[in-house]
Structures are given as C-alpha cells and as structure tokens.
Structure 1
Amino acid sequence: MACRDMRRGEKAASEIRWSTGNGNVVVRQLDLSSLRSVREFASKLSATEDQLDILINNAGVMLCPKILTEDGFETQLGVNHLGHFLLTVLLLDMLKRSAPSRVVNVSSIAHVGGKINFEDLFYNKTPYDSLVSYRQSKLANLLFSRELSRRTRVFGVSSFALHPGVIRTELGRYVETRYPLLSAILQVPAWLLMKTPKQGAQTSIYCAVTEGLEVHTGCYFSDCKLKEPAPEGKDDLAAMRLWDISAKLVGYNEED
C-alpha cells in the first residue's frame, strides 16, 4: 500500500490484516505530488520486491483551487496524471519481469468533454477552472492507459482505465468549500445515490483480477463492464503526444 499519510495508511492496513487474516500487508510512504517521493518509492520497491503483478493507480484530487506541486505542476494534473505516469514507467521493468501483469488506472466519467490543453497544461496563460482542469487530468488517465497498452502489450503487460462511480469518500471535499450552495442542494439526494467505498472498488478489482481480460488491454471499464469512452479518450495521436510531453516534464528518459 502506497500512502501519503502513513498514520492513516497503517490504520487501513491493520483493518485489512484483521478482516482477512493476511498479515503480509506493507505500507510505504508515497506522495504523488512530489517527483522526489515517487522516485524514492519506486527505488525502494525495486530493491526489496522481486515481483509486481498488479499496479493500481488510484490516488487523486478533485476540484481543488489552483495550487502547485513542489515541482511546479498544477496539482490536479500533477497528482492525477504526472505522478502516476512517473511511478508506472519507473516500475515497468518489474512489471515486464512479472508478466502477465496489469496496470489499472482509475480515471472518471469526467473525461467526457475533457481536453488536453497542450499549449498551456498548467493554466499559466489561460484562466484556471478547477472543473476543466479535473476533466483534463481524468482524460490524461485514459490516454495514458491507452498508450501504455500500445507500448507494453508485446511484453505481457496489460493496461486498463476505469470509472469507479461516484463514491462517498473525502475526494469531494473541495466541492463543499468552493461550491457550498451546490453542495447543500445536492447533499441528501447525492449521498443516497453514491457508492460506498467497497462498491466503488469493485471495478478496480475486476480489472485487476478477472481472468482473460488481457484481450481488452487499453480499454475503458465502468460497473465491471466494458464501456465505450468518449471520442477524446480514443485519440491515439493525443495519447502519444501526451506520453512524450509527460516524459519530458518528469525527467524520464526511456534509454536510461
């Protein structure tokens, strides 16, 4: 378990050990808003583990105000996409050695209507809109998963993107602070329609362990079923361009 908050991570790990009887649960510190932290985590994992069968990229922030990561990235794209991108490519050798292996990228239905603003990824020139930025980051998850699949399927590494549903977690904390009236209006009906965390995890689990799913590498899922993504989520040229730009931004050289 890769967690930003080690205290909360250890608490969750204890609950898992108790409920499953599996004591082999390890918690390690990882902050996706820090490339330094990503590199440290990947280095330690590679040094202590021989195998990596499944990598689930699940971290995320949503609708936050415009703040920058320690590397100068707009936070939603920095955490939701660039941190996961670097983590995955640094662990690719392990994934290839462990093949057949899988990468599961938690995207969102919010990718619909999204656009990768290649000319101004971090909104330094254009006005910042937290929803537009969030959609960009979720579309980036889907395009990354698609391009990753194209590059790694020959090595036996599968890649899937998914919409987990709207889940009752703290992900929506900024909705309450930035859109209090909307939050108050929607709170009761939305709460009733939201998935529990257990329900929200099911599509990630499905993509991680369902036998024979390799034939659908590069695809998008929702409610444990294949789902057609929006047209912008199938733009292979944009996916390749995003990969190249992401590699430059995080300082990743495939020749290293």
Structure 2
Amino acid sequence: MTKQKPLQTGFGPETTAQEVLAGQDLSGKVAIVTGGHGGIGLETTRALAGAGATVIVGARDVNKAQEVLASLKNVEVIRLDLADLSSIDEFAAIYRSSNRALDLLILNAGVCFPPTIKDERGFDTHFETNYLGHFQLTVGLWEALKRSEDARVVSLSSIGHMTGPIDFDDLHFTQRPYDKVVSYGESKTACSLFAIELDKRGREHGVRAFAVHPGAIMSGLARHLSDEDLAGWGVKRNEDGTYVTSEGFRTAEQGAATSVWCAVSPMLNGMGGVYCEDGDIKEVVSADSQLHRGVRSWAIDSVSAEKLWTISEDLLHIPHGTIPRSQD
C-alpha cells in the first residue's frame, strides 16, 4: 500500500507536462485520453503523443476533435459520450477489437455546472458524466489494461472534493435540495475513491491507479458557469469568450503535468492508490481545512471506495466481481 505522503519530487504548480516527460520515450505505448482534444486533455494528448505514444482520444464530436488534433502524429479519435451507455460500450468494443494492450487510461473528460442536472434515468449529471461513465468505460477496457501488465489509470478528481463526502443515501439529489457545488464536489470525490479501489483490484495484474487534482485552469469546462460563478473564483469573462484570471490559476500545459506524471513517471513504479497534485503525492489535510490544496480523508477512504464500487456495479447492472477485489 502506497502512503499518502509527498515524495518531494521537485515538481510544483508551475511544472508543465513537457517538463515531466523530459527524456522519456513512450514509443510502443498506447494511451486513451477522454476529452483529449480540449483544455488540459489536449495538452495531455500533445505531451504523450509527442513522446512517441499512440493516443486514442474519446470525444463526443469526432469531427471537431479531428480538426483540433490534425497536426499531431500518432493520434486517433473514437466517438465517446460519457452520458450515453451505448456510446461507452461501443467505444470499449471498438478498442477491444483492435486486440491492443492498453498502457495508459487518462479519465480526463468532465462537466461543471451543466444546464441539465439529471439524465433520463434520474442520475445526477455530474455523478454520471464525471464518474459513472468513466467507471463503465474502465470495466469495458479491463482486459486490455491487464494485457499491458504495466498499466496506469489516472482519474481526474478536483479540489472540489473538499465540499464534503458522498451522501450515499441520496446520490442523485432526490431527497435534498439540489446544490450544484455539492453535486460537482461529490462527483470529484467519487473520481478519487474510484482510483483508490481500482488500484486495490488491479495491482496484482499490473494495473495501478491514481487520483489527480490538476489545479485551477480556465478551459472549456467553464463554459456553463455564470458570470456570478466566475466572479466568485476571481475570474472575468471577456466578450470574446476569453477569461481574465486572478493569481493562482495555471496554464493548460501546467494543468496537464500531474496527469502525465502519474501516467508515466518512474518515481511511481510499484505505487498507486493515492491522490496527487503539483507533480507529487499530496498530503492529507484536516476535514475543516479551507486550504485549496491537499486531500481530505473522505476522498481516499478505503471503506467508502469499496462501497461506491459496489453501488456503481448495481447502477450499471454490471455483475459484482467483474473486476475482482484482491485480498490484503
């Protein structure tokens, strides 16, 4: 079990994905990056492909993604809508049919304060898109991950997890008033817990998992935020759609650094099941801390992680043990 304790890597908030990758050759590696055509996802794709990896990008709009990625070598695009069960299954089936191992799975795509708060199943949109769709995708790609024998899965969490633990009795806000901040935060807690439990299930097969907070970055993720929401974060939206940010925000290149570090760094060989930030494993902070860094205990709690996994299998009608849980 890897301790939730910094390694003192020397990286920090200003480190870029390219700096993390310096000197590494990823030729022969295959990566999947969901949402890998915009924001930090695009920079993740650019960095991995630039180091020689073959990168498959999952995108709802294939034509748009292909246009954005046209200048990059070793990049493929497959349609993927994380709010659509059949789209997720189709993506996984297409990849499995290639008979390729999967070395890196970067679960990057997500939504923030979307206009539609529930889907036709009554599922909370944040929970469904940010977490549950990625859970289903990972299960569908499990055999390809095992085939690598040295795979890493990176689950994009957020400092938003600090809003509190998951309310397991009301995942979809049917009993409590809907709160978009709490909804988003719980979905990102789920993303972190997913990495904790997946690592436990995958490590005997050479599959390690990491949760990542990329830092504060203004990207397409902010498109549904109101001017009032943005102002609360010290951000102003210009008439042309660009943003003016306050101190503490990062570039997309910096935001992608920790995802890439978790995916490829030899510093993490033999490790997994931890929450990372600023190119390092991050320390645990107190539950009432107002610091916008560090991980709260509920986002790395092993009991909650196992509970969430079982609930997710039930919600998606996936047989229990499809990805079996190893014993300590």
- 1:4 partner amino acid: R
RMSD across aligned positions (CA): 1.9
- More displaced 10-residue stretch of structure 1: 75-84 or 92-101: 92-101
247, 251, 254: which one pairs with 2:313?
247
- 2:308 partner amino acid: L
Equivalent residue of 2:201, what SS?
helix
Give the match for residue 203 of structure 1.
Answer: 258
- More displaced 10-residue stretch of structure 1: 4-13 or 220-229: 4-13
Structure 1 residues 13 and 70 mapped into 2: Cα distance closer, same or farther (>3 Å)?
Answer: farther
Equivalent residue of 1:117, what SS?
coil
Structure 1 residues 45 and 127 mapped into 2: Cα distance closer, same or farther (>3 Å)?
Answer: same
Alpha-carbon deviations, 1:174-214, whole Å to 9, x = none?
Answer: 3225637647x632763553212111111111111111413
- TM-superposed deviation, 1:216: 2.6
- TM-score after normalising by structure 1: 0.91
Q: Distance in 1 between matches of 2:123 and 2:247?
A: 35
CA contact (8 A) 2:275 2:300 kept: no
66, 70, 87: which one pairs with 1:14?
70
CA contact (8 A) 1:65 1:130 kept: no
Q: Distance in 1 between matches of 2:163 and 2:226?
A: 23
CA contact (8 A) 1:66 1:128 kept: no
Give the match for residue 46 of structure 1.
Answer: 96
- 1:10 partner amino acid: Q
Q: Distance in 1 between matches of 2:86 and 2:300?
A: 31
Q: Distance in 2 between matches of 1:43 and 1:174?
A: 31
165, 179, 186: which one pairs with 2:235?
186
CA contact (8 A) 1:3 1:28 kept: yes
Aligned pairs, number: 249
CA contact (8 A) 1:34 1:70 kept: no
2:157 equivalent to 1:107: yes
CA contact (8 A) 2:158 2:214 kept: yes
Alignment of 1:31-180 (within 5 A): 31-176=81-226, 179=229
Percentage identity across aligned positions?
40
Structure 1 residues 192 and 6 mapped into 2: Cα distance closer, same or farther (>3 Å)?
Answer: farther
| Structure 2: segments with no counterpart, 5+ residues | 1-56, 237-242, 284-294, 323-328
- TM-score after normalising by structure 2: 0.71
Equivalent residue of 2:185, what SS?
helix
Give the match for residue 4 of structure 1.
Answer: 60
- 1:129 partner amino acid: D
Q: Distance in 1 between matches of 2:192 and 2:311?
A: 16
Give the match for residue 240 of structure 2.
Answer: none
Q: Distance in 2 between matches of 1:180 and 1:153?
A: 40
- TM-superposed deviation, 1:113: 3.2
- TM-superposed deviation, 1:65: 4.3
Equivalent residue of 1:26, what SS?
strand
Structure 1 residues 39 and 84 mapped into 2: Cα distance closer, same or farther (>3 Å)?
Answer: same
Q: Distance in 2 between matches of 1:104 and 1:181?
A: 30
276, 281, 297: which one pairs with 1:231?
297
264, 268, 271: which one pairs with 1:213?
268
Equivalent residue of 2:105, what SS?
strand
Q: Distance in 2 between matches of 1:164 and 1:233?
A: 15
Alpha-carbon deviations, 1:35-76, whole Å to 9, x = none?
Answer: 111011101110024110000000111123452234431110
Equivalent residue of 2:226, what SS?
helix
| Structure 1: segments with no counterpart, 5+ residues | none
Q: Distance in 1 between matches of 2:207 and 2:226?
A: 39
Q: Relative to total residues, which structure has the larger helix share, 1 or 2?
A: 1
User: Which one has more relative contact order, counting CA pairs under 8 Å at least 6 apart?
Assistant: 2
